Each structure stands twice: as C-alpha cells, then as structure tokens.
Structure 1
Amino acid sequence: MRNTTSFPLRGADLAFSAKTFAAAMLALLIALWIDLPRPYWAMATVYITSQPLAGATASKALYRVLGTLAGAAAAVAIVPAFVNSPELLSLVIALWTGICLYVSLLDRTPRSYLFMLAGYTLALIGFPAVADPAGIFDVAVARAQEITLGIVCATLVSTIVLPRSVAPAVAAKVEHWLDEARRLSRDVLLGGGGGVDDRAHRLRLAAEALEIDTLATHLAFDRGADHHAVEGLRSLRLHMQLLLPLLGSIHDRLAALDGHVDRELSDLLQRLAGWIVAGDDREPASRLRAVIDALRPSLEGRSSWDRIMIASLLIRLRELVDIAEDCRALNAAIAAGEDTAKVPLAFRSEQGIAPARHRDHALALWSAAGVVIAILVCCAFWIATGWADGASAPMMAAVACSFFASQDDPAPSIVRFAAWSLVAIVIDAVYLFAIIPAISDVELLIAALAPAFLLFGVLIARPQTMPIGMALGANGATLLALQSTYSADFQSYANSAIAFMVGMVAAVVLTRLVRSVRAEWIAQRLLRTSWETLATTAERRGHHDRAAFVGLMLDRLGLLAQRFAAIPEDDRRELDNLNQLRVGLNIIDLRRARHGLTAATLGAIDTMLDRLAAACRGRGLGTGMMPADLLAAIDVALLKTLDEPAAPAKEDALIGLVGIRTGLFPDAPAYHADATGLRSLVA
C-alpha cells in the first residue's frame, strides 16, 4: 500500500518542480528582455510564490501583488521624507513593518500575505535606496514590476500547465474525516468512546477539521472552481464541526445512565450504530426519527435523573441522525456538482455566519515588537560601522522575523532557514565563479541552472522539506543576482553574503531574547481565552451565534491539538473531552430557549448563567474547581424547567441544563427534585 501511493506523489513532485523552474526561467527571460534592473527578483519571486496546489498559488497571488504595491508606495512616500535622518528613517521603516506584521498575524487567511508583504517590501526597497533617494520612485516601480512579473508567471504556469486542483485534496480529506467520525459515532453508541485513545481520536479529528478549513480557503481560487461546491463545503464543514461535541454529549449521557438502559433503548442504540456506518442501502432516517420520538418520556417536576437523562439522550440522538444524514446528503451533492442550496437539511443551525477564527492581539503585538527591535538593532550596527553593504542585514532581519512570526518559537526555524541559506550562498559561489563565466548563451545558462533549481523545487513540493527548498530556491535566486551581463565580483559577493548572514543571526538572537515562548505557554493562554469566551457567552443573553461560537472554539481546539504534548495532564483531560466547547453549546441552547419560558424559570436560568460566567472567569484566572453554589443554581433551574409545559423552549432549556451539569460536574450526585435544600432554594 505504501509503495503504491509513493509513485504518484513523486511524479507530482517532479512535475511541480519542472513547472516552477519553467516559470522562474520565463520570469527571468521576460525581465531581461524588458530590461528590468534586477531581473533575478522575478526569478526569486517564483520560488517564494509557487505552491504544489494551483488554488493555493492563485489564492495568494493577488494579495502578494497588492502587498508589493503597498510596500513600494510606502517606500516612495517615506524614504525621501526621512533620508536625511537615518535614525528616524530606520524607526519609521521598523514601525511600518511591525504594524503590517501585527495585522497579518490577526488575519490568518490568504489575505494576510498582503499585510506581511507590504511590511517587509518597504525594507527591501527602502534600505538599499538610502544611497540614492532621488531614484526611489524608479527603484520602487522596478521592484514592483519584477515581483509582479514573478507572481504572474508562477500563477499562470501553475494554473495552466498540469494544474493540481485543491478540490481532490479537500474531497479526500473530507471523506476520510467523515469515515473516521462515523466509526467514532458507532463506538460511542455501543458504549465506548471514553478511553484515552478515543478521546485522542476526537482531538485528532478536531485538528484535521482545522486543516480542512485552511485548505478549503484555497478552493474558490481553483481554475474553474465550482461555486456550488464552495458553498456546499461551507455548510458541510459546519455540520462536521457540530458532530464532535454532539458525540461527547451522547457519551456523557450514556455514562451517566451507567447501565440503566432498557431493552428498547439498547436496541435503538444498536440500530443507530449500524445505520451510521452503513452504505447507501441503509434504512431511511425517518424511521429512526419515529422510533426516537416514540421512546421520549414526558417530564415533570419530580421526574427522576435517569428519566431526565434518557429524554436528553434521545434529543441528542435525534440531532445525531439529522447531522449524519445532512453530511451524507451534502457530500453527495458536492461530489455530483449539484446546487447544495437545494438539499433539504434536517438539522437547524444558524447559517450565513462567516467562519470565526481565534485572534491573539497580545501575541501579535509581541511578534510585531520583535521585528521592530531586530530591524533597529541591525540598522544601528549598519549606521555605526558605515558598512556599505550593511543594508542587507535589516532587510533579512525583517524578512526572517516576518516569515516565521506565527510560530510559537520562531528561532529554531530561523536557524534552519539561515543554515540552508548559507548552503545556497556556497552553491551560488560555485555558479558565479566556476560555472557561469564559461557560459556564453542563455540556453546553456538555463541548462546549467536546471539541476540545482529542479532539486530545490522537489524539496518545496514535499511538506517535510518545504522550508529547506524555500530557503535554497528563493535565496539562491536572489544571491545569484543574474543580470544581462556577467559582472560578478568576489569581494562584493562576500560582503553581500556576510551582511545577509548578519541579518539572519540578528533575527535569531533577538527572537530568542524577545519573542520565543514555549508551546505550553501558548496552550495555557488558549485555554484561558476559551474560559473567557464561555463567560462572555453566558452573559450575552439572547444572541443566536451558535455557528460563530463553534467555529471559534473549534479553531482554538485545533490550535491546542497541535500543542497537545505540551499541555498539563489535568488540562489534557478537559481538552480531549471537548469540555469547553460542549458547555458553550449548551449555554447557547439555553439562550435560544429564553423567549418561550415563564418569568420564574427565566430568572432561575439567568441567575445560573451569571454564576457560570463568574466561575468561568475564575477558571480563566487559574482559581481551580467550579463552585458548589453553581451546581445548586443548575439544579434549581432544572427544577423550574421541568415544571414548564411541553414546548420546544422547554426542550432546549432541558438539554442545555443537563449538558452544563454533566460537563462541569461529571462526578456530582444525581439530580433529585426532593434533594435537601433544593425546594427551599426555589422558594
């Protein structure tokens, strides 16, 4: 099996490498033909821009062009105004780069490239231009032309010549995810799903959902992308996101019943377990819904905890049937190219909400401060020494700090990038002073460059070696500095290479001193932020934002899953049970029920939500366990809700309260209407 999948991948890698090299040579030749001053920038841009999937290349292309134009415009406006004050110019360029990086880190979509490129493009254009500020406009225009030419060539070749569409990659990941979710659903329905491996499985699916979301952002940029598929995938992803916390809720209710399941309910669970993994010949979902509705018990104020749990379980089982059926229908419609807006969906959920993403303003600001300091230190060294080629140092510090700012600890990646850049410097030296002097025409030049740059392309095509290939390809093309005539000078090349490495070393040292943090610190910060979000969710009484909440919490869950090994054991158990997410969804169920409840019940629920918000803020500050008075408030609200007349609002309130109780107090004694003190609290 492993061998059968490796050959297509290897062929795709070679094809991508050949396409990238062809695009780079096309960009170089056009730049030489129209006599651009630095044609090698067009070549280097191809290696920076190209991605194995055509949609990924196209999704970033427009934003790269816009970012380059914004950076060039900033250079024209800033450099002449401050060129006579080197210290002030350095500060302005550093602040511009830092502000752009800050916005880029908050965006977390392909659009973020616009802001990041706008930031360091000013450094790339502005620092070398200080020696000739009068020509800044021509330099900025030329640089924008060179980079835009490289982006256009990379995009055209990627989308026209043997394009690798994003759609099959997304479809394969979605199909795999749904298969895994069906198996997990079957295990939960059969009484499993509570082991360490099962909880890790849920967490892994959460992380894969984030990967699918990231990959799907490129789908709309595919050549000939199907609008129906793009819209259908958005709806399908929402259902997929809701499935994970739903399975956790079902597991909790089955665990709370602890074997107190009658024959009819047991038969239903077995039937559902078979149906969820069955193929197209499975029985109609309508039959299962009818059985679930027939088994649901009526509830009143003195109903037993087991009876309440059975009713709540059956409500969740009905939702499982609806979501599973919708996922199959949406996936089939997407595969058939049909309009998914016409697919009848059984599960009610808020639609039309843009995917919510986690934004850490403090960490983004911290990263921005790191790049500002790195640029200023390099500029101070450059100004103090009067080094003619010293402009490369702040340039590379800006690029390195920006490229890797999204990582917890960027320093190791910058070290590896610098090490492979040094390899590129050595390779370029061989080309410049041993090979290229003997070449007399462009055909031989292309043939000579092919072995090295084809290898760089193969490395870029493979995820595990992509950073190596990027360092070799982009920096190799830049430092090679090919022009229409050969004019290499070893002393000038050595000076440029040393300045390049000084910038890299400065980026590493200052990143370690200013910006590096452990994954554990980031994970704890994410957990605290999630508790704060729960508190806010409890306080915002009547807002129907279930989809936005799920998107935000699952986005954080995916980020946490990437750092799972660094999370303390106590927090791991909470995380891999999707506890915060499930409690938040139950809070939203309660809020949805508000307008259909009596004033007395509403007052009890509001009191409970206020205490829940305070408790969540306390957990966010690390104050420990949930308080006992919150459990009492939940039980009071339960008692009031059970006395309500049968209605959808009662159902929403019931599943919300039961979910919050089992989620926050899994080891608490069973609810009982006649518990000591409960009636007195109600009175």
Structure 2
Amino acid sequence: MKGFLDGFPPGRDWFFGVRTFAASMLALYIALLMQLPRPYWAMATVYIVASPFVGPTSSKALYRAIGTLLGASAAVFLVPLFSQTPELLSIAVALWTGTMLFMSLQLRTANSYVLMLAGYTLPLIALPTVNHPETVFDVAYSRTLEILLGIVCAAVVGSLFWPRRLEPALINAADTWFKDASRYLDGCLAREADPASIGALRGSMVGTFASLEPMVGQLPHEGAHTHSVRYAQELRGRMIHLMPTADALDDALTALERRAPEQLRLIQPVLDQARAWVNAPLDEADGSWDALWLAVKRVEPGPAALSDSRLALRANALYRLGEWIDLWQDCLSLRASLLAGGTLPWRAVYRHWRLRRLSPYFDRGLMLYSAASTSVAICIASAGWILLGWTDGASAVILAAVACSFFAAMDDPAPQIYRFFFWTAVSVILAGVYLFWVLPMLSDFPMLVLAFAVPWICIGTLTAQPKFFLPTLLTLVNTASFISVQQTYDADFIGFANANLAGPVGLLFAFIWTLIARPFGAELAAKRLTHSTWRDIASLGERSTLAAHRRMGVRMLDRLMQLLPRLAQTGQDGSVALRELRVALNLLDLLAYLPRLSPGTQHEIREVIEAVGAHFRRCVAAGERLVPPDALLNTLGRAGRGLAVEQGEPGEDAALHVLHALSGLRLALMPGTEAVSPREDAEEVPYGIDGAPL
C-alpha cells in the first residue's frame, strides 16, 4: 500500500489543485455574471498565474497585468493604422513581438515576463480583429478585463487559503546544494575522488543553483524580511565562488602531493580537521571555523621561508584552504540566518574584493538570432494565412508566436515546441468531448462546476510538480480556451474544428520552422560561451578600472554557471572550463594588487598578464584550445623570482597575494605542475608542455 501511495502527489499539491480550481470557477462565475464576451479567458488566466507559492503567484499576476496592458495598447494603436494592409500589419506584429522578446531575454528576473507577454499579446488581439478594426478596442478592453479578473481571483484565493511561503523551499533546495557540496569538498580534501564522481557532483550543484536563482528573485514578492532577501543574495554569490575555490585547492594539493609529499603529510591533520567540519551536520559546526584557522596558522610557513619551493607549495595549499574555510563559514552562517527568518545578525568573513551583486552574462548574438527567427516565423505564418484565405487562420499565427516566444531562451527549443503541439492536440480532443457530450447535459453553473471538478483538480494538482508542469498547464489552459464557455450553449462541429485545429497547425509549423532555423543546440552555445571567456581573458591586458574588473569577475562566474550544464549535456569535461575561469580570476587578482608593488615588479607582472592574454588571443583566432607556450611559463617564473625581492618590504602583503595568484595561474594553465616559486638561481629555466623543468 505504501509503495502504491508513493506515486501519488503529496497533500499540499492536492490543496493547491483544489484551491486553483476554486479560483478558476470563481473567475468564470464572475465573468459570466458580468456578461463578459470571453469568460473562459478569466478561467484560463487563473491557471497561468497560479503557483504553489505566494511570491511567484503575486509577481506573475502583477507582471501579467502590466504585459497585457502593454500588448493591448499596442494592438489598439496598430490595428487602425494597418487595417487596410494586413501584410504591413503582419510585419508590424512580427517586429513588435521580436523586439519585446529580445528585450525580455535581457532580463534574468521575473519581470522579463512583462515584455514577453506584451510581445505575444499584440497578435492575440490584433490578428483576429484585422477584418473588423472597429472592434479592436472592445476586444482589447474585454481581454484586459477578463485577464485582470483571473489575476485577482488567483491572487486573492492563493493568499487566503493554504498559502505557502517560498523561503522554506529555498532553504530545502539550499540544503540539497550543501549536501552535494560537502561530498564534493570531502573528495577534494581526502584525495580519493575520481573525476566521474566529481563531475556528477559538480553537475548536481549547478542544477540546484539554477533552481535557487529564480527563488531568490521571488522572495521580495512575498514580503520576505529585507535581511532574508539580502542573505539569500549573499549565499547565491558565495555558492558560485565555492566551486572554483575548491578546484584551486584541489590543484594546489595535487601539486603538493606530487612535488613535496612530506609537506602534505605535515598539513594532513589540518585537512582531516577540515573534512570533519565539512561532514558535520549543518547545525553542529559552531566554533569549527576559529579552530581550523588556528590549525592553519600553526603549520603556515612565514614569508621569509617562501624562497624554498617546497615551503612555497605548502603555503599556496594553505592559502587556498583558507579561502575555502572562509567561504564555507559564510555559507553556513548565511543558512543559519535564513533559517531564523533574517532576524539573526550575519557578518561576512570572506571579504574578497571581487564579491559584488550579480552581474549576469548574456550572449546577445544568440538572443538576437532567436528573436529574429521568431519574427520571421510570424511573417511566414501570416503570409500563409493571408494567401490561403483561412478565416480562422489567425489562431495558427498566434500559437506559432506564443510557442516561439515561450522557448526562445532554450538552446534546442524544438522538442519543447513539439510537446506544446502534442498537448494542444490532446486539448482539442478533450474540449470536443466536453463541448459535444458533457455540456449539452448540463443545466446550470453548479452542474458545470461538478463536470469540471474531477479532471481539473487532478490535472491541476500535477502542475505543482516541475516534471508535469508544462503538459498539465497546456492541457488545462488550452482546453478551457477551446471549450469557450459562454452564457448560452451554441456550438457546431464544423465551426469548432475550423477554429481550434488552426492552433495545432500553427504549432506544427513552429516546430518545423525551429528545426530549420535553429538546427544547432547546446554545442554551439557552449562553444560561444567558451570563446567569450577567452576574449575576456585576452582583454585583461587593456587598461581598465577596478570596478570594471570586479564586474567582469562576477560576469565570468555567472557565465560558468551557464556553461557547465551545457558541457555536461554535450559530454564535455567541465573541469577545463573551471580552469579557464581560474586563469581569469587569478589575473584579476594580479591586477587588483598590482598598484601596491614596486615599479620593477609591476612591469614583470604586466608581462605575465600580456603573455596570458596573447595566448588566449591565439586560442580565439584558432578556434580551439592551444597548449600554453614555453615562453609563457618562463615569464611566470621570472615574475615569481622578482617577487622574492619584495618580501620584508612595505609591499610584502600585496606581494604574497600576487605570489599565490601566480601559483594559481600556473596550476590553472598547466594542471599537475608545481606552483610558481622563487628559485635560488636566476637562470632562465625552460619548461616542457607538461609543466616540468626540462
């Protein structure tokens, strides 16, 4: 019995299904009472904006209202202007939809829905009224009113009955990330993890992070404490930083293990202590941060000892370990503050200069192509509608525009558009069953509610589960629209088929068009993201401000979160992308501390930055990764020897940071090699492609 019940949705999802159905029936009843021309729009809108959580429901309701008003206003303005020339109207609609879509893709927050909705609301209103332009205002007004009615019903019922807050769900998702991150870090510290398991954990961490990001953006919409919103944003930033920091620590420990195993044995108790901390229950780690730092300080060599390459390796490993300790402590303390509802004071211990608010990366070239292909699809579909003289062919153009807009941000939207087509076709069949078999037997509104109750509640319950969200939502919304509930029953099969088969035809066209116009998938997106990273690294040799470098650093981290899932999807190694990110981050560290060095050392560090930039410019020109040349490694060696002179001088602290950045840079460029350290001899030492001295 238990195994049978395990497949059923939990009780909270059933509450959501009942609540949403009640809101949809309330919206339908009020719309019928007000004698609105298309009351089913109000019913369908409830399901579009409804969410199990208060925040997403509120934000989607607000943004759908604004987007509908924008799209309706554009329709009222454009239809009278081009009513005599449907070809020009189609072009205007295509340009509007494509422009709004492109603008919406520039936003990574919930308000992007405003622009995307405004884009496809115009054809929803404008195209059916092209032959009767005098009715466009009435249609726009009634659609806006019916949608606002559905929005109000969904928001009010959702906030009054069984409301769920997003903050606990965010903490649960964060705990999933903590679980994976603990295993990821433990494998690094234990020196036992294999690349396959590390890659799987990395993919899981990135996937959880991707689910957290929209939750963080929705917190303000449910009235979360201002500190909770800030703490969630701070946690998100440190989650991004943790992966390259752990990767740098792993490389530093690998270099120490290979070149100075006796030094690794010396710090092994500290690593064991760190493992115990990372594997401890999340609520039982108090005091571990202070104890770990005391242990690190006891085995950390002083600046004067760094002339010994083996001690320099140990110092670099402990430096990277210290970065991870501070980051992990911040993540744990932020989680505790979120659990307390934002009322627990929080103080950061990881205060890297690069930390700042999210600076998202956008591939505007692909975005522009996606928006342009949507506009062209609308033009072609409109031309077919006009040439065929299909009375209800506007529905085909409308759903083609909706499908292309919905999935424009995806690397490969064709499979999702096909699912849209399939479930829309199912909705036509289901609507036909209701319209010609169920509705004729009903006599009043309560009977209508009973007829809808069982299927709508059952299907609506499944919309709360992400894996069923798209098919169930499409089924509910499209079936409600295709049934077209009115004040009186009036339906004929020929009219129903002519009006409602146009939608699937438009979606089938959108699917075929997408296969033709966008045959590439994640491979192209991953390649473009990789080349963008190379170009950014190459540009670091140019003069810029610290603020610009800070923005670039955060943008690169954001780009990594977009790149890793695509690399996993295409079977590529994500560790290479992490290394290239670490090259960039170490270069940014060099630039940050550069002004505090002596003029002679500054010149040598600038040579390093320019040499690395030249290498990645060659990668961009070749279109592939190239092996770093020997000259680059020699340049790194000279810079490391020059820093030895600065120890004990006023710039000593900056020199130590730069020395560790040079070490991290070499390990990122040439994995498995020893860190950069001053050599007793000043002789130029050539290096082979494996990073070892020849």
Q: 1:172 to 1:566 in 2, by over 3 A?
A: closer
The CA deviation string for residues 227-247 of structure 1, in whole angstroms up to 9 with x for no partner, is 221111111222222222111
Distance 1:62 1:650 in 2: 53
Picking from 659, 667, 673, the partner of 1:662 is 667
User: Which residue number corresponds to residue 261 of structure 1?
Assistant: 263
Q: CA deviation at 1:94?
A: 0.6
With structure 2 as the length reference, what TM-score do the two structures score? 0.91
Q: Which moved more, 1:1-10 or 1:555-564?
A: 1-10
Q: 1:393 to 1:565 in 2, by over 3 A?
A: same
The CA deviation string for residues 544-601 of structure 1, in whole angstroms up to 9 with x for no partner, is 56774554334333333333344354x44413xx212222221222122122101111
Q: 1:580 aligned to 2:580?
A: yes
Instruction: Structure 1 unaligned segments of length 5 or more: list them.
Output: none
Q: CA deviation at 1:9?
A: 4.3
Q: Which moved more, 1:251-260 or 1:297-306?
A: 297-306
User: Which residue number corresponds to residue 489 of structure 2?
Assistant: 486
2:159 is matched by which residue type in structure 1? Answer: T
1:215 is matched by which residue type in structure 2? Answer: M
Task: Check the 8 A contact 1:330/1:343 in 2, yes or no.
Answer: yes
Q: 1:609 to 1:522 in 2, by over 3 A?
A: same
Distance 1:152 1:385 in 2: 40
User: Which residue number corresponds to residue 142 of structure 1?
Assistant: 142
Q: 1:318 aligned to 2:333?
A: no
Secondary structure of the structure 1 residue equivalent to 2:262: coil
Secondary structure of the structure 1 residue equivalent to 2:307: coil
| Superposition map of 1:30-41 within 5 A | 30-41=30-41
| Superposition map of 1:109-508 within 5 A | 109-193=109-193, 195-222=195-222, 224-258=223-257, 259-261=261-263, 263-278=265-280, 280=284, 283-299=287-303, 303-339=307-343, 342-350=345-353, 353-508=356-511
Task: Check the 8 A contact 1:542/1:592 in 2, yes or no.
Answer: no
Q: CA deviation at 1:136?
A: 1.5
Identity rate, percent: 37
Task: Check the 8 A contact 1:428/1:476 in 2, yes or no.
Answer: yes
Distance 2:633 2:279 in 1: 38
Distance 2:31 2:446 in 1: 16
With structure 1 as the length reference, what TM-score do the two structures score? 0.93
The CA deviation string for residues 118-173 of structure 1, in whole angstroms up to 9 with x for no partner, is 10000000001112112222221111111122222222222221122211111011
Secondary structure of the structure 2 residue equivalent to 1:517: coil
The CA deviation string for residues 394-418 of structure 1, in whole angstroms up to 9 with x for no partner, is 1111111111112222112111211
Q: 1:540 to 1:290 in 2, by over 3 A?
A: farther
Distance 2:28 2:22 in 1: 10
The CA deviation string for residues 1-51 of structure 1, in whole angstroms up to 9 with x for no partner, is 996994894322222211111111111111112222111111111222222
Q: Which moved more, 1:174-183 or 1:60-69?
A: 174-183
Secondary structure of the structure 1 residue equivalent to 2:247: helix
2:461 is matched by which residue type in structure 1? Answer: V
Instruction: Structure 2 unaligned segments of length 5 or more: list them.
Output: 687-694
Q: CA deviation at 1:65?
A: 1.1
Task: Check the 8 A contact 1:607/1:633 in 2, yes or no.
Answer: yes
Q: 1:347 to 1:573 in 2, by over 3 A?
A: closer
Q: Which moved more, 1:624-633 or 1:361-370?
A: 624-633
Distance 2:269 2:625 in 1: 44
User: Which residue number corresponds to residue 83 of structure 2?
Assistant: 83
Picking from 625, 628, 635, the partner of 1:626 is 628
Q: CA deviation at 1:537?
A: 4.3
Task: Check the 8 A contact 2:277/2:288 in 1, yes or no.
Answer: no
Q: 1:410 to 1:284 in 2, by over 3 A?
A: closer
Task: Check the 8 A contact 2:254/2:672 in 1, yes or no.
Answer: no
User: Which residue number corresponds to residue 45 of structure 1?
Assistant: 45
2:371 is matched by which residue type in structure 1? Answer: A
Task: Check the 8 A contact 1:459/1:465 in 2, yes or no.
Answer: yes
Distance 2:306 2:58 in 1: 62
Distance 1:4 1:257 in 2: 53
Secondary structure of the structure 2 residue equivalent to 1:333: helix
2:684 is matched by which residue type in structure 1? Answer: G
Task: Check the 8 A contact 1:194/1:251 in 2, yes or no.
Answer: no
Q: How many pairs were matched up? A: 674
Distance 2:217 2:150 in 1: 23
1:83 is matched by which residue type in structure 2? Answer: S
Q: 1:184 to 1:510 in 2, by over 3 A?
A: closer
Q: CA deviation at 1:529?
A: 1.9
Q: CA deviation at 1:357?
A: 2.0
Distance 1:428 1:185 in 2: 53
1:649 is matched by which residue type in structure 2? Answer: A
Q: Which moved more, 1:280-289 or 1:485-494?
A: 280-289
Distance 1:487 1:309 in 2: 82
1:459 is matched by which residue type in structure 2? Answer: L
Secondary structure of the structure 1 residue equivalent to 2:110: coil
Distance 1:247 1:215 in 2: 25
Task: Check the 8 A contact 1:210/1:554 in 2, yes or no.
Answer: no
Secondary structure of the structure 2 residue equivalent to 1:461: coil
